[in-house]
Structure formats: C-alpha cells, structure tokens
Amino acid sequence: MTDAFKTFFNYVGIFFVIYMIGYASFLFLSVAVGSSMLYKLKRQNKLKNELSGDYYVPVSIIIPAYNEEVTIESSIRSLLALEYKLYEIIVVDDGSKDNTSKTVCDAFNMHIVNRPIQRKVYCQKEEKVFETYEYKVPITLIKKKNGGKADALNMGINAAKYPYFICMDADSVLQYDSLTKIVNPVLEEGNVIAVGGAVRPCNGTEIKNGRVISYKMPNKILPCMQVLEYDRSFLAARILFDKFNGSIIISGAFGLFKKSIVIDAGGYEINTMGEDMELVVKLHVFCRENDIPYRIRYATDAICWTQAPEKLLDLCKQRRRWHIGLFQSMVEHRKMFMKFKYGLVGSISYLYFLIYELLSPYIEIFGVFTILLAFAVDLINVPFMILFFFIYVIYSAILSLTAFFSRIHTIDLKLSLSDVLKAVGLCVLEVSCLRFILAWTRGSALIGYKSKKHSWGKIERKQIELK
Amino acid sequence: MRVESIIYIYGAVCVSMIVFNIVYNIILKQSESSLKKRCERIKKQIEVQFDYIKTNGSIEQNHLHYMEHSLSRVSNLIAFERVIKDAINNGHEEEVNKYIGQMHSVSLYLAMVYSRRENMQAGYFTYFLSNYAVKKQMPIDSLQDILLSYVKKDNLYCRINALSALYNIGNIEHIISALKIQDDGVIYLNQKILTEGLLSYTGNYHKLIESLWKNFDSFSEHTKLAVLNYIRFKTGDYKEKMLEIMLNKNAEKEIRLSAIRYFGKYYYEPSLKYILDFVYNDDPSMWEYATVAVSSLEKYSGDEVIKALKKAIQSPNWYIRYQAAQSLDAHNLNYNALFDIINGSDRYAREMMTYRLESGKLQKVGSVKQ
C-alpha cells in the first residue's frame, strides 16, 4: 500500500514541478515583458514618439445598463467630460426594474423619437428610443426588453452610427484622455480590429473631471489586494499576449471594436456569461478562418477606472462569473486548440488559459488534497513543504510588486510610505490566502451555471465619487 | 539537489527583481533633477546669446560649435527643447525665432548625427525639428535631403515628424518626394494623418495641388485617398478633375466615392446628371455609390433632385433610405411636399422620414441651447 502511495506521490510531484515551473516561468516572462514595455512606453513618451495631432476616429460609446439608476447619470456626465470631439453616447436600458431610463431622461432632457433601428446583429426589440442633442455629443437612450448584457450590447451596435464602438460598464469612469489613447493603435497600425483598455480599481483614488487628483491604495484590504492582482495578472499578462497578437480577453469594462467586423462575426453571443472574452476569441477565429489580416491590441495607457468589489461575497460572485465565461468561451471555440491555422492564439494563448486559468483551481485544490493525504500517511517532508511554500509566496509577491511599481513609476504616480508598506504586506496575503479562496470559488463556479446564462450577475458597488 | 537548484533559481529571480525595482527608482528620481540642472545650464547660455542678438544681431560662433556637440546628446536636446518652449511661453518668441534662425548649421549637423541613431531618438529629433527648428520657406536643401532619409525610417513617429518638418519648410518638390517615399508599404500611415499633414502646409496650396495631380497616378490608393480628402477640405477649384475621376470606371471604388463626396461639398451643375445616375442605379452591388450620391444631393435643388431622393427613400437598402431621409430633410421641404412619403404605403420610407424630421428638430433645438 505504501509503495502505491509513494508511486502516486512521485507522479504527482513530477506533475506539480512541471506545472509550477511553467507557471513561474510564465509569470516571470509576463512581468518582465510587461514591465519593460511600460518603461519603453515611458521613454517613448519622453522622446515624443507619440501621435500629437488632433486625429479623431468617430466612436460610439455603448453603455449597457441594468438597474443602474444610482450610477448612470454620473457615468454619462463623466463621458461628456472626455477630451475628444467625435463620439456619441448610447445607453441601452436592458429592461431595468428600477428608474434607470427615467433618471437618464430627466437628467438630460431626452425626447422620445420613432427611430428605426436596423437589426445587423440579433437582439431583443426596442421598446422606446430617446435622443438629445443639447450636449457636447449626441446621447441616445434605448429602452428594450430584458435580454442580458450581450443582448444590450448588440442593440447598441445596431444603433451605433460610427465605424468604431466602445463597450463599457455603467459604473465605470473613463480617464479624460482614454478615448484618444484607445484610438491611437487604430491610427498607428493598419488592420486593428479591437483594442483593449486598461481597467484599474479606483477604490481610494480621487478623480476630478476624469483626471486623477490623488492616488492612494484603498483603505480596505480586499480592494487593495485586487489592485496588486490586477497589475500582476491582467496588466503584465495582457502586454505579453499583445506582443504576438494573442490577446483573447478584452475587458467588458473598456474595449474598442471595429463595428463592421464585429457585425460580420455575428456580434456578441447572448448565451454566454463571458460575452467580452467570447467576442474576442470569436474575432480571432473569424479573421483566421476568412484569411483577414488583423491585429487585436492592448492600450496600457487608455485607462478606465472601476470599483473593485469591497466584499468577499461580491468578489466571489464576480470571479465565478468570469470563470463560467472563460469555460463557455473555451468550450465554444475548442476547435482552435493546437491547430496550425489559429497560430499562436490557438497554441500559447489557448493552452495558457486552459491550464493556468480554467483548470488551475482544480489543479490547486487537487494539490491541497494531495498534501493532506501525504500528511495523513506520513509521506511528506513538512519543513521542506513549508520552505517551498515560503519561496512560492515570496516569488509571487515580488513579481506582483514589480508589476505594481512598474506601473506606478511609469505613470509618475507618487505613493506614500504607508501605501508602499501596505502593498508589500498585502501582496503576501494575496498570494498566500486570497488566491486559494478564489481558486475554491472558481473551482465551484461551474456547478449549476446553466440556469444563470442571461443573468446580469450584479454585485454591490458604490457610486464612484467624482469631484 | 534538483529541487534545491530550482529554488535557488527562483531566489535569484526574486533578488534580481528587487534590485531592479530599487535601481530603477533611484535612476528615475535622479533623472528629473539632472534634467532640471541641464535646463538651468542651457538657459543661462541661451540668455547670453539673446543679449548678443540684441546688441550685435548675431550669436557667437563658439556657441554654435558648443551646441553641435552638446545637443548631440538626446538628454541635452530634451532640456534644450524644454528651455525653448518655456521661453516662448514666457513671451520671448521673437528672440527664440531669431536665435533658432541662426542655428541652421547646428540643425544640419544634428540631422546628420541623429539620422544614424536608433529610431526613437531619430523620432525625437524630427519632432524637435518640426516644432521649433524649421520655418516656412527655409532655403536649406541639404537639410531637406536628410529629412527625406528620416521619412524612409521604419518608425511611424519619425516619418510623421519628418513629413511635418517638410510641410513647414514648404518645398513642394520635397513634399512630393516624401509622400512617395512613405508610400513604400513598410510603415502604415493612416489617411487621416496624411490629410492632416497636408492641411498643415501653409504655402501656395494651388501649386501643391497641381504637383499632387501630376504625381497622382504614382501614389498608392491609400495615399490617393488622403490627397483627394485634402483637396476636398481645401478648395472647390478642381471640379473638372474630380468629375473625370468620378466617371472613370477603372478607378478604385473608394477613389470614385471620394470624388462623389467632393460634389456633395461643392456645387457643380455638370456633375448632377451623373450623380442622379448613381441614385437611379438599382444594381445592389452599387449601393455604396448610391448612398454617397444621395448624400451629395443635399447640395443640389430642383424637382429632379427631390424626385430622385423620394425614389431613394424607398430603396430596399437601409443606408440609402437613411441618407435619402437626411438629404430630404436638408432641403427644408414643407409637410405637403413630404406628404406622399409620410402618409405613403412604404412603411420603411415613412418610418425613416418621420424619424429624420423628429431628429432634425431636436438637433436644431440642441444647437440653439449649446
């Protein structure tokens, strides 16, 4: 029996050594590439290697809204303060049960119009359309039957007048120069069909007219840990994937898309919880299958501020939703896995998301159970295990801090000593505790997910305080 | 032992990351203070030269030699730019212009130096040159020749700034050469960037356009479109040429569409017949021509035009209907004139027209309130 256990643990050990080397190498590579890219961008800006003229690509900003009466007015006002000339705002009220539409109508003096909307991509029918031209840019409000976020976004695409559209969340705030920055890749390179913006938690940050007045780490522990996690996992990894046109996620909170290609690809998939990821993977598949030259870019300097969940329950809800979305997208487009036609997206990106995102919670939970089992049969070297865990925590924490400080240094933000200490202390807590809680959450996400496929998955968020 | 070595590797990575963070932070803090010191030093030297200009009318030769050497370092060039910018903002533009005006030899020397540097530094030099160091009609052929070599570089910003410098200098021959060079397909220059660049040219635009026409066939479709957009934004004096392009069935689609748009901006009676032909063409593959033609009819009046627009609003194509409603609204027709559409049997035409009238009213209210 002991021999059987030994053989089992031997194989498990080999598997985990390979798994961890893969993860550590990826983490190192992404943080190293991400940081060096941020420093390169800073130098590029210093040496004025940037577009300085007023080149305006017309953009439609689509805000899908569901029960957003508290946040919607301030969101629209913040969009009206953007330093950009050629854009329109389209709010799609997806059958809210509160007064979302009324709030918008009252706040912006909207008038009902009999606007015909061409169905270029599938969505539920509109009930009422309102418009106003009394502000810097036209605002349209479409009230429609409830169909989910993807359905609301599809309605926005159908109503959009301009060749590029931006999707964003109703409770996020765009930085004053974010449109200019997100459009730049389109001007700099031909064939750009989508650009992802950088989404950052704004808890603790003071924002006035879309500008950061003061930046500090959030007071609460949970959002503070998410700030570090965002920089390590999202910022660094996305920069790395961007290097080989391998990004398969553009956050639903802030992304720019070429409308015609999205329509040709069929728009947002309404039967998925991760419509943002699904669309990007779909665009890769569509372009590669039809031999359309394309680029999907990531603009690190196009910033969208969002409220990170402050309660653990809300964070778990959010991550569960992301995990289900990831699962659905990967299953839906499984044909691209390791196929030559899909290039590095089908191999590196897909493999990474499969092993280190989709399956990682199960692998990690399996690892913990193996440790417990080994402990029970007295086949574990406890001091070595503790040392290994300690090394893992320090390694991950240092990479988190490198990504975090790279971002802070390269955008000239100043942190107080207390914030630096907070970041150092909490990154240890994040990799040693929060990571495992979220692994458990993600691991259990797929249980009974089918019943929630059209749900908006709302989490409790405070209104972003804009000065 | 194997596992230990992995742990040592991880440890080494951790230490190197910590060292990197600390060193970079120190460098970052020092670089700003050293830039300030550089600026102070350069400012003092320039102020002395400003005094020389006031008294003698020219700057010292030694200063020119010193600047050639000093500004060869990009960090000094950045400081120099900052000082010049501050001086202009503080109301010393005249002195700056006189000072820069005597720095041709330095500019030429630096152009040679930076042409051999890495792309980012070359890009910065062309930025500096286009914003401060070159002015309209500067007779410096050798500098322009070097600028053409910057246009060849595979750096987008270098190309844009070098083109911008050439537009500032204003030599048409060199501008045309630069446009041909950038057309090599190595670096993508967006049409908007090309058009905006041409619009920044402040010399005799008729002469520039004549040269552009002469070389038109040698440009790629991408550049041709930028040129046509430039001409459309600039002047309505090239109607015959545009009509020729509009009627040329061998020309690329976007080029012909651009020519139709020209007649939507500038009224030209002889073009109307052909625009109407596009509107009446029921071939579904020609819908883009019909849409742009319908849009151009905003500029034209008469029964014939209204009749064509009323036909277009009943098109099975959504975009043609949308544009037709917009053009009809632009003609400010009264209710009676639109009665047949608003109360007609074509539901799609009715809906589109009704919406356009509602939306048009809101736009008028909006423009008054803004």
Tens-place pLDDT, residues A316-363: 999 999 999 999 999 999 999 999 899 999 999 999 999 999 999 999
**Interchain CB contacts (distance < 8 Å): A and B:** 111
Cα separation of B252 and A246, whole Å? 34
pLDDT at B265: 97
Residue A399 to chain B, least CA–CA distance (Å): 7
Q: Is residue A177 part of a domain?
A: yes
Q: Is residue B23 part of a domain?
A: no
CB–CB contact B358 A55 (8 Å): no
What's the half-sphere exposure (Cβ side, CA atoms, 13 Å) at A312?
10
Q: Residue B351 is part of a domain; what is its CATH number?
A: 1.25.10.10
Note the pLDDT tens digit of each residue in A410-453.
Answer: 777 778 899 999 999 999 999 889 988 999 999 998 886 665 55
Tens digit of each residue's pLDDT, chain B (370 residues): 566 777 788 778 778 877 887 887 788 778 888 999 999 999 999 999 999 888 878 888 899 999 999 999 999 999 999 999 999 999 888 888 889 888 888 999 999 999 999 999 999 999 999 888 776 545 567 888 899 999 999 999 999 999 999 998 889 999 999 999 999 888 999 999 999 999 999 899 999 999 999 999 999 999 999 999 999 999 999 999 999 999 999 999 999 999 999 999 999 999 999 999 999 999 999 999 999 999 999 999 999 999 999 999 999 999 999 999 999 999 999 888 999 999 999 999 999 999 999 999 999 988 887 7
Q: Is residue B7 part of a domain?
A: no
Same-domain check for residues B170 and B222: yes
The helix/strand/coil state of B86 is helix
pLDDT, mean of each 10-residue run, chain A (467 residues) = 86 90 87 86 91 86 94 92 95 95 96 95 95 96 95 97 95 92 93 95 86 88 92 83 94 96 96 92 96 95 91 92 92 92 93 94 91 90 86 86 83 83 92 90 82 58 56
CB–CB contact B370 A131 (8 Å): no
Contact A134, B367 (CB under 8 A): no
Contact B147, B111 (CB under 8 A): yes
CB–CB contact B362 A132 (8 Å): yes
> What is the identity of the amino acid at B114?
Y
Interface test with A, best of B160, B233, B323, B361 (most A CBs within 10 A): B160
Confirm or reject contact between A440 and chain B (CB < 8 A): no
Cβ contacts of B128 on chain A, cutoff 8 Å: 48
Confirm or reject contact between A46 and chain B (CB < 8 A): yes
Cβ contacts of A21 on chain B, cutoff 8 Å: 6
DSSP letter, residue A466: B
Question: Which residue in chain A is spatially nearest to B185 when comparing CA positions?
Answer: A190
Same-domain check for residues B216 and B323: no
The helix/strand/coil state of A165 is strand
CA distances from B267 to A251, A290, B239 (A): 47, 42, 9
Cα separation of B78 and B87, whole Å? 14
Q: Is residue A257 part of a domain?
A: yes
Same-domain check for residues B95 and B124: no
CB–CB contact A402 B155 (8 Å): no
Cα separation of A225 and A217, whole Å? 9
pLDDT at B137: 46
A 207-246 → B contacts, CB under 8 A: none
Q: Is residue A33 part of a domain?
A: yes
Q: Is residue B196 part of a domain?
A: yes
Neighbours of B12 (CB within 10 A): 10
Residue A455 to chain B, least CA–CA distance (Å): 33
Number of structural domains (chain B) is 3
In SS3 terms, A100-128 reads as HHHHHHHHHCCEEECCCCCCCCCCCCEEE
Interface test with B, best of A16, A47, A119 (most B CBs within 10 A): A47
Cβ contacts of B359 on chain A, cutoff 8 Å: 113, 115, 131
Cα separation of A449 and A454, whole Å? 10
- Residue B139 belongs to what domain range? 117-235
Same-domain check for residues B150 and B186: yes
> CA torsion B66→B69→B73→B76, rounded to 10°?
10
A431's CB contacts (< 8 A; 6+ apart) are A392, A393, A396, A397, A400
Q: Which H or E element spans position A131?
A: strand A126-132
Q: Is residue A343 part of a domain?
A: yes
* Class of residue B149 by CB neighbours under 10 A (exposed 0-12, middle 13-18, buried 19+): middle
| Domain boundary, last residue among B219, B235, B251 | B235
CB–CB contact B157 A387 (8 Å): no
Cα separation of A296 and A284, whole Å? 8
Q: Is residue A64 part of a domain?
A: no
Q: B196 — phi, psi (to 5°)?
A: -60, -40
A 379-398 → B contacts, CB under 8 A: 387-388, 391, 394-395, 398
A 280-309 → B contacts, CB under 8 A: none
CB–CB contact A53 B196 (8 Å): yes
Q: A139 — phi, psi (to 5°)?
A: -120, 130
* B55: Cα separation from own chain's centroid: 41
Q: How many residues does chain A have?
A: 467
- Residue A221 belongs to what domain range? 26-50+171-354
Question: Which residue in chain B is spatially nearest to A41 when comparing CA positions?
Answer: B120
Same-domain check for residues B228 and B181: yes
A 167-196 → B contacts, CB under 8 A: 186-190
Longest dimension (CA), chain A: 80
- Among B314, B237, B301, B236, smallest CA distance to B275 is for B301
Q: A65 — phi, psi (to 5°)?
A: -130, 135
Q: Is residue A270 part of a domain?
A: yes
Number of structural domains (chain A) is 1
Cβ contacts of B360 on chain A, cutoff 8 Å: none
CB–CB contact B370 A134 (8 Å): yes
> What is the identity of the amino acid at B109?
Y
- Among A200, A257, A202, smallest CA distance to A234 is for A200
Same-domain check for residues B131 and B84: no
Same-domain check for residues B189 and B126: yes
Q: Is residue B250 part of a domain?
A: no
| Sheet-wide strand order for A192-201 | A111-113, A126-132, A139-144, A87-94, A59-65, A164-168, A254-258, A192-201, A295-306, A172-174
Q: Is residue A40 part of a domain?
A: yes
pLDDT at B145: 87
DSSP letter, residue A354: I
Cα separation of A400 and A340, whole Å? 33
Question: Which residue in chain B is spatially nearest to A396 when comparing CA positions?
Answer: B14
Confirm or reject contact between A39 and chain B (CB < 8 A): yes
Q: Is residue A252 part of a domain?
A: yes
Cβ contacts of A134 on chain B, cutoff 8 Å: 365-366, 369-370
Residue A456 to chain B, least CA–CA distance (Å): 32
- Among A401, A397, A399, smallest CA distance to A409 is for A401
CB–CB contact B196 A118 (8 Å): no
Q: Which H or E element spans position B49?
A: helix B2-56
CB–CB contact B127 A118 (8 Å): no
- Among B63, B35, B38, smallest CA distance to B49 is for B63
Residue B140 to chain A, least CA–CA distance (Å): 25
Residue A395 to chain B, least CA–CA distance (Å): 6
DSSP letter, residue B129: I
> What is the identity of the amino acid at A334?
R
ipTM above 0.85, yes or no: yes
Strand partners, A143: A93, A128
CA distances from B164 to B61, B159, B169 (A): 29, 8, 9
CB–CB contact B25 A189 (8 Å): no
